[in-house]
Structure 1
Amino acid sequence: MNNNLIKAIQIGELTKVLETLLESPLVHIDRIKFLSKVYDLSEDDIRKGKITISLREREEIAKRRIRKNVRESTSISFLSGLPGGFALVGTIPADIIQNMGYSIRLIQELAYIYDYEDIIDQDGELKVDGLILFLGTMFSAQGAASLLRVASANAAVYTSKKIMTTALTKGMWYPMLKNVSKVVASKTLTKKGLAGAASKVIPVIGGIASGGLTAITMEIAAKKLNNELIKGFRSNYKEENFNKDIEIIEAEFEEIPSESVEPIS
Structure 2
Amino acid sequence: MSIDSDVAPPESKFNAVLTAASGLPGVRIHREAYLRRALARYCSDEQVQKAVNESPAAAGIPSNVIDKAAMDSIKYETAKVTGLSAAAGIPGGFALVGTVPADFAQNFAHVLRIAQKLAYLYSWPNLFAADGEEPDDATKGMLTLFVGVMFGAQAANQGVTAVAGMLAKEALRKLPQQALTKGVIYPIVKEVSKKLGAEMTKLVFAKGMAKVIPIVGAVLNGGVTLATYAPMSLRLKKHLASLELTKPHAEPAS
* Shared fold per TM-score greater than 0.5: yes
Deviation (angstroms), 1:27: 0.6
User: RMSD of the TM alignment (CA)?
Assistant: 3.7
Q: Which amino acid aligns with 2:119?
A: A
Which residue of 2 is the match for residue 86 of structure 1?
95
TM-score, normalised with respect to structure 2: 0.69
Instruction: State the aligned residue count.
Output: 212
Contact persistence 2:70–2:118 (CA under 8 A): yes
Q: What do residues 68-126 of structure 1 show as CA deviations (whole Å, max 9, x unaligned)? A: 1111111129989xxx94343x22177633431110000010000001126335x4764
Taking the aligned partners of 1:169 and 1:185, their CA distance within structure 2 comes to 19
Taking the aligned partners of 2:166 and 2:76, their CA distance within structure 1 comes to 27
Contact persistence 2:120–2:126 (CA under 8 A): no
Which residue of 2 is the match for residue 252 of structure 1?
none
Which residue of 2 is the match for residue 202 of structure 1?
none
TM-score, normalised with respect to structure 1: 0.66
Q: Which amino acid aligns with 1:209?
A: L
Contact persistence 1:70–1:215 (CA under 8 A): yes
Contact persistence 1:110–1:226 (CA under 8 A): yes
Alignment of 1:104-143 (within 5 A): 104-117=112-125, 119-121=127-129, 123=130, 126=135, 127-143=139-155
Give the 3 Å change call, closer, same or farther, for CA 94–74 of structure 1 in structure 2. Answer: farther
Give the 3 Å change call, closer, same or farther, for CA 86–111 of structure 1 in structure 2. Answer: same
Contact persistence 2:70–2:121 (CA under 8 A): yes
Alignment of 1:155-194 (within 5 A): 155-157=167-169, 170=182, 172-191=184-203
Contact persistence 2:141–2:181 (CA under 8 A): no
Q: Secondary structure at the match of 1:187?
A: helix
Which residue of 2 is the match for residue 20 of structure 1?
20
Contact persistence 2:180–2:189 (CA under 8 A): no
Which residue of 2 is the match for residue 31 of structure 1?
31
Residue number among 220, 236, 244 corresponding to 1:225 in the alignment: 236
Q: Which of structures 1 and 2 has the larger relative contact order (alpha carbons within 8 angstroms, sep 6+)?
A: 2
Q: What do residues 30-76 of structure 1 show as CA deviations (whole Å, max 9, x unaligned)? A: 11111001111487555433734211100111112111111111112
Q: Secondary structure at the match of 2:242?
A: helix
Which residue of 2 is the match for residue 96 of structure 1?
104
Residue number among 220, 227, 230 corresponding to 1:209 in the alignment: 220
Which residue of 2 is the match for residue 69 of structure 1?
77
Contact persistence 2:31–2:126 (CA under 8 A): no
Contact persistence 1:96–1:214 (CA under 8 A): no
Taking the aligned partners of 2:28 and 2:73, their CA distance within structure 1 comes to 15
Taking the aligned partners of 2:85 and 2:221, their CA distance within structure 1 comes to 13
Contact persistence 1:29–1:105 (CA under 8 A): yes
- Stretches of structure 1 that go unaligned for 5 or more consecutive residues are 196-204, 238-265
Identity %: 26
